Amino acid sequence: MRNEAEVNRALKLYADTVRRICFMYLKNDTDVEDVFQEVFLKYLLHPSSFESDAHEKAWLIRVSINACRDVLKSFFRKKVRSIEEIDVEPFYIQEQDKELLDAVLRLPPKYRNVIYLFYYEGYTAVEIAGILKKSENTVYTWLDRGRKELKKQLGGEWIGE
């Protein structure tokens, strides 16, 4: 179990990353907060130490993705609908980034993940391959296809290439 100082340091460094990943999957602030707490609880209880800060961040990203997927495939999520579907934007999305983020969120999950990790988190394709447990060539292919899809969605105006 980790001490309070370690958890506070991790929260300071990685809270935004975990929230953005969760929102990318769940698109719901309430679910994002639930998964956020679950991820950092797992971090608190994780028995082993990490090789480096990069390893720690990659572990948190992987746990976040897995926790989001668990929420998305849960029985409750599949069978229950809220009375009111409220479209509330999270506080951390800048207005000028909204169109691009909306386009990224409409991508198929495999493209969305690699685009997000590459452009928003600054990971290389090799690092993404390790995080997602895919081959480097698969990541390069998904990046290329994701870029083309974004370009098509944004009318050929995407500058991320």
Tens digit of each residue's pLDDT (9 = 90 or more) over 130-139? 988 899 999 9
Q: Cα–Cα distance between 4 and 51 in angstroms, integer?
A: 20
Q: What is the pTM of this model?
A: 0.64
Residue 84 predicted with pLDDT over 50: no
Residue 45 predicted with pLDDT over 80: yes
* Ordered domains of the chain (ranges, CATH): 1-83 (1.10.1740.10), 94-154 (1.10.10.10)
The helix or strand, by DSSP H or E, that contains position 98, with its residue range, turns out to be helix 98-105
Which pLDDT score, from 0 to 100, does residue 12 have? Answer: 95
Residue the block writes with tokens 């951390």: 92
Cα–chain center distance at 96 = 20
Altogether, the residues listed in the chain come to a count of 161
Which pLDDT score, from 0 to 100, does residue 145 have? Answer: 93
CA 39-24-91 angle, 5° bins: 90
